[in-house]
Structure 1
Amino acid sequence: MNRTTLSLIAGTTALAAVTGFAALTQPDAPDARAGAEAAAQLPVERTSVLCPAPSMSDIAETSYTSFTPVTKGTGSGGEAALLSAARQSADGPAAGKEEGRSGGKQDGAQAGKPVLRAKEPGKPVTGDSSGAEAPALVGTADGRFAPGWTVQETTEVAAGTGRGLQGVNCTAPGTDFWFPGVSTAADRTDYVHLTNPDDSAAVVDIELYGKDGALKSEVGEDLTIKPHSSEPVLLSTLTDEEQPGLTVHVNVRSGRVGAAVQALDDRIGGDWLAASADPSGSLVLPGIPKDATSVRLVAFAPGDADADLKVRLASPSGLITPAGNETVHVKGGMTAAVDLGDVTRGEAGSLVLTPTDRSVPVVAAVQVVRGKEGKQESAFIPATRPVGTRATSADNREKGGTLSLTAAGPAATVKVTASAGSEGGTPVSKTYTIKAGTTQDIEPPVPAGLKGTYALTVEPVSGGPVYGARTLTVTDGGVPAFTVQTLPDDRGTVAVPDADEDLSVLQR
């Protein structure tokens, strides 16, 4: 082992233990597999999340819920806190593109005072804000609070564009995000929120792809997001073309950001659109509400190759092919949109997309509408990673929640745990079996003696991969307001390989 190899192992081990987002993979060779088997799964020691500014409405009411599952091997120290990300005006093109909010406006919250601070793992902590001045938040957790730390931002808007229930899981900063399902149509007001948590500026490109390929836009290039700031960029200012089905690619040239799209509709409310899972030949979009009156699939193939996808619905009884929409053809570099109507027909369902022949990486999301004309609400479900080792939903109430679990392949058994309540209650766990190729809607278990809100953790026990989503519903003035959040693996642990000292390298 030479000096370079020793340094690489040490650096990789430190990165995995500190950031919470690193994953170690090895080539598929016998020696590599042996090394992977010897690697220890250890809790991450530090986690970061970013929450976008929740609303531009003066009548918005926003709640935040922070939760860390209890994880073995974490020790007794650490903390988790959310602080305001002080917005600053940017000299670059991102500044001043928003309507109803100035890019140079400073946050009302004190930048150094935590908006929310966790008290102990296993028990949620909540906070709230009102109106249009609530800032974007930057969160950091370390020690025993880091593994699986989840923060949910939920906003109720009683009237106006985007009225209804809007929810988003605060996400880790990154450098590459795909958002199929955005729109620049006249009845939509879509913003991509970019939050920079670091001490140096981030440089970002926002690319738009429609049914005929890339939309020309020099305005979306080289956007500078200043340190510790957040900028909402109105997508309709980046192009003159009005298209209802677009894909946004956020490509970070320098630094890192958190990214989420707020999609607001004049007629059917609005919600947050989280980034799709990384491009893949097969995708699962879990948790379509059984009473959905309209489901619209939007898919995009990032490369030059065309993708032909088989469309199936994982229902409670098995995989079903929607009549008239058996396949979808996605041209390379172009966005395809398909209206599936009321595809669930009163039953739980999740979309499963697989290649008809050769596998071509794609990203995808669905827009879901509930309710009847005049009293409708909408939400988005992106393709997501499987639950993996464990996934968490932070904001759950005694009523109005549905947990959807999908076994797209083999059958699976999962354990679902309801945490203690934020103001009291005793945790409860239940085990469920999900049959192969099906989706099961579960009324989530509720902590005994619940007071306040609580968290749900989902842990596969046996069987194949499980995909999940949680739907939260509120009826306001006869409108079935709702929001859906997927449940990907919380990445609370990382594989850290064993590494022995080899002092002989110092003599070489």
Structure 2
Amino acid sequence: MNRTTLSLLACATALAGVTAYAAFDPPPASGASQAKAAAELPVQRTGLLCPAPSFSDIAETSYTSFTPVTKGTDAGGKATLQAATETDSASSDGSGSSGKSKKGGKDTEPPLKPKEPGTPATGDASGAEAPALIGTADGKYAPGWTVQQTTEVAAGTGSGLQGVTCAPADTEFWFPGASTAEGRTDYVHLTNPDDSAAVVDIRLYGKDGAIKSEVADGITVQPHASEPVLLSTLTDERETDLTVHVTVRSGRVGAAVQAQDDTGGGDWLAPAADPAGSLVLPGIPKDATDVRLIAFTPGDDDADLKIRLAAPDGTITPAGNETLHVKSGMTTAADLGAVTRDQAGSLILTPADNSVPVVAALRVVRGTGAKRETAYIPATAPVGRRATSADNSAKGTTLALTAPSATATVKVTASAGSEGGSPATKTFTIKAGTTQNVEAPVPSGLRGTYALTVESVSGGPVYGARTLSATEEGVPGFTVQTLPSDRGLVSVPQADQDLAILQK
């Protein structure tokens, strides 16, 4: 067998191995011949990481695990969640078995045991001792596996509702919207799922550019461990708007920023979409009292962006905020105020001239004075083939969908309830350039919480976000999670035998 044949076999093996972990499914290929050349297969293994939920002794955290039913999966498999730094886990593999693990000499039960695909599983934890979680799923549990972590803090720094969708490990993350200003307590949580240590660098960029730090390089995250890093310990500078860039020298980690304010609540800031010339930030609550856009360009060129708001009746330009100039290597912010004016809205950023890659996020405030709460909306990827959102309730859930460039049709399915209820489905058409807060389906006979899956049916790309609301004592607690692809399917090119290659 010659070297060419060996190379081709190695290539085919590598492509098949893509299904072994939760790979992101790219946009459909253009052209009939390309579409026929690839097969859509369910991923065979998914890894998720959840940060430690809170430092507050009065925090109450709920977890929801859900896997949508996906055709073509293996009959077997299991899903497991375990505390970071621990060795055993509770699992669901059809046998009903569960385990527990030890940390600091104490037994630690994982917060939940995932159920069969199609049915959410829920669990909870209290106080500041709840650990970060490391999750893995394979077989029928892997495609689209989603875990939501939602925490309610009744008082103190970061009070209100804080939510995050647990995410896979990676090697690079962007977080525009963090801060080291007075009254802010922001941590970047780093979680290592692997058997060897990870080495991480953290770069901070303020309004004047890169911020020097003696301690932000070479941070070691031990195997199966989580490390919260307080941003204000990395620099003496107090910056209202920061962009945090996390890069991994060796290994891989999960990363999320916990942004907390002494008086204005707080939330998790999920990683923004990779730098791009055009960005979509979906699902601004219609009653937002203040919206702040934070943007950063990592390249050598400045960026000039057009700012547009996709509302229910079409796209408009916010008065006084038609464009944003983003200097290279510097974090830039713009106050948009109550930009949605009691209508659903999503922000669309496009190049005003030459396309320059940027990252961006929104800081969104509801309420006023002492009754304020804050959430964050990072720029995100489109729904793609399917996106999944867990931990929804009959009241308090808002699903926002936007089609920035072309009219699109989507199918939204509500799963069975975690404690009972039958699935329900609705189809929606989202007109080009609009955002709609759709009336999402609710399971009939619902008991407990449920999951929503959003599937693209036809038309242009769709972006989505889910808002959870829970007002307590007049304070409008809320949290927003965007809805990129749930990574349930991967395109694997088909290969045909060609014996002629042996003659070359």
Q: CA deviation at 1:500?
A: 4.2
| Cα gap change, 1:110 to 1:504, in 2 (>3 Å) | farther
Tell me by how many angstroms 1:5 deviates. Answer: 2.7
- 1:224 maps to what in 2? 220
Shift of 1:12: 2.2
Judging changes above 3 Å, is the alpha-carbon distance between structure 1 residues 108 and 44 closer, same or farther for their aligned structure 2 residues? Answer: farther
Which residue of 2 is the match for residue 16 of structure 1?
Answer: 18
**Contact 2:53 2:61 (8 Å CA) reproduced:** yes
Q: Map 1:55-204 to 2 at 5 A.
A: 55-86=54-85, 110=107, 114-204=110-200
Choose which of 401, 405, 427 in structure 2 pairs with 1:405: 401
1:334 shift after superposition: 0.9
Aligned-pair CA distance for 1:22: 5.5
Q: 2:42, 2:240 → 1: CA distance?
A: 43
CA distance in 1, matches of 2:394, 2:336: 32
Cα distance in 2 between the residues matched to 1:273 and 1:192: 9
Indicate which of 471, 477, 480 corresponds to 1:481. 477
Structure-1 separation of matches of 2:170 and 2:57 = 30
For 1:160 and 1:408, the matched residues in 2 are separated by 39
Asked if 1:265 corresponds to 2:261, the answer is yes
In 2, the alpha carbon distance for the partners of 1:45 and 1:110 equals 31
Task: Tell me the equivalent position of 2:391.
Answer: 395
Q: TM-score normalized by structure 2? A: 0.93
Give CA-to-partner distance per residue, 1:172-193, whole Å, 9 cap, x none: 0000000000000011000000
2-structure distance, mates of 1:483, 1:194: 21
Tell me if the contact between 1:17 and 1:45 (Cα under 8 Å) persists in the aligned partners: yes
| Alpha-carbon spacing, 1:122–1:190, altered in 2? closer, same or farther (3 Å) | same
Shift of 1:267: 1.1
Would the aligned equivalents of 1:287 and 1:404 in 2 still touch at CA under 8 Å? yes
Provide Cα deviations, 1:110-141, integer angstroms capped at 9, x if missing partner.
Answer: 47x64322221010000100000000000001
CA positional deviation for 1:27: 11
Matches within 5 A, 1:5-44: 5-21=7-23, 34=33, 37-44=36-43
Distance 1:108 1:343, change over 3 A: farther
When residues 108 and 377 of structure 1 are mapped into structure 2, their CA distance, relative to the original with a 3 A threshold, is farther
Aligned partners of 2:409 and 2:458 also within 8 Å = yes
> Residue 13 of structure 2 aligns to a residue in which SS?
helix
Q: Deviations over 1:198-246 (max 9, x none)?
A: 0000000000001111000121000000001000000000011000101
Q: Which residue of 2 aligns with 1:102?
A: none
Count of matched residue pairs = 488
Contact 1:84–1:107 under 8 Å retained in 2: no
Tell whether 2:287 aligns with 1:287: no
Alpha-carbon shift at residue 37 of structure 1 (Å)? 3.3
**Paired residue for 1:339?**
335
In the alignment, residue 407 of structure 1 is paired with which amino acid?
A: A
Residues 151 and 107 from structure 1, CA distance in 2 versus in 1: closer, same or farther, beyond 3 angstroms? farther
Alignment of 1:446-485 (within 5 A): 446-485=442-481
- The alpha-carbon deviation at position 8 of structure 1 amounts to 3.4
Change (3 A) 1:334 1:188: same
Deviations 1:363-418 (A, max 9, x none): 00000000121101000000000000000101101211100000101111111111
| Alpha-carbon distance in structure 2 between the residues aligned to 1:494 and 1:342 | 40
CA RMSD, 1 decimal:
2.2
Contact 1:81 1:116 in 2 (8 A): no
Question: Which residue in the other structure is 1:96 paired with?
Answer: none
d(CA) in 2 for partners of 1:441, 1:107: 46
Q: 1 CA distance for matches of 2:378 and 2:29?
A: 29
Unaligned stretches of 5+ residues in structure 2: 88-101
Distance 1:106 1:265, change over 3 A: farther
CA distance, structure 2, for counterparts of residue 356 and residue 329 of structure 1: 9
- 1:43·1:147 contact (CA, 8 Å) conserved in 2? yes
Q: Which amino acid aligns with 1:40?
A: A
Q: Which amino acid aligns with 1:54?
A: P
The share of aligned pairs that are identical, in percent, is 69
Normalised by the length of structure 1, the TM-score is 0.92
Q: 2: CA distance between counterparts of 1:35 and 1:361?
A: 28
Per-residue deviation, 1:505: 7.9
Q: Identify the match of residue 441 of structure 1 among 437, 441, 450.
A: 437
Give the drift of 1:498. 1.7
Cα pair 1:84 1:110 within 8 Å, conserved: no
| Alignment match of 1:379 (pick from 375, 378, 389) | 375
Residue 349 of structure 2 is matched in structure 1 by 353
The answer to whether the 8 A contact 1:418-1:429 is kept is yes
Give yes or no for contact 2:264–2:372 (8 Å, CA) kept in 1: yes
Question: Offset of 1:35 from its aligned partner?
Answer: 5.1
